[in-house]
């Protein structure tokens, strides 16, 4: 496995772990560990109407997207992977827009946003 592929897998495993944690927090809010100071308030962001889509926590989308990245890291570029990267970009835009509308930042969500950017960059740099 090439270094970029290994890095994508490691990043994706970390991101899946964070997404699983956020899904648990959705159903058990007392599990949340996050400072609530000024602009940082995971509780506000994760408790907002933006945190679900059709009743499903957005974090589940993170589990699915980053989980698929583990598989896609070994695949050659193609239409499926390109569509998948566009979906990730859409999730990133949604997350940033939602936090902007709420006026608060979730450090876990922002970490996942950064990992989406890094993942997309690595996929684009990956030589098949």
Q: How far is Cα 100 from Cα 29, in angstroms, rounded to an integer?
A: 22
How do residues 7-58 score in pLDDT, each as one tens digit?
999 999 999 999 999 999 999 989 899 999 999 999 999 999 999 999 999 9
What's the angle, vertex CA 59, arms to CA 77 and CA 7, rounded to 5?
40
Q: Which class is domain 3-125?
A: mainly alpha
Predicted model pTM: 0.94
How do residues 64-74 score in pLDDT, each as one tens digit?
999 999 999 98
Q: How far is Cα 52 from Cα 55, in angstroms, rounded to an integer?
A: 5
Contacts of 21 (CB under 8 A, 6+ apart): 31, 108
């Amino acid at each position: 496995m090439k270094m970029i592929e290994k890095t994508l897998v490691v990043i994706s495993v970390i991101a899946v772990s964070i997404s699983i944690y956020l899904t648990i927090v959705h159903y058990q809010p007392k599990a949340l560990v996050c400072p609530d100071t000024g602009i940082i308030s995971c509780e506000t962001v994760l408790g907002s109407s933006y945190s679900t889509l059709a009743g499903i926590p957005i974090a589940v989308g993170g589990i699915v997207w980053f989980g698929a990245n583990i598989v896609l890291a070994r695949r050659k570029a193609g239409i499926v992977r390109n569509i998948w990267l566009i979906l990730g970009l859409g999730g990133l835009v949604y997350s940033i827009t939602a936090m902007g509308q709420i006026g608060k930042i979730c450090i876990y969500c922002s970490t996942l946003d950064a990992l989406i950017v890094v993942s997309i960059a690595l996929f684009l740099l990956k030589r098949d």
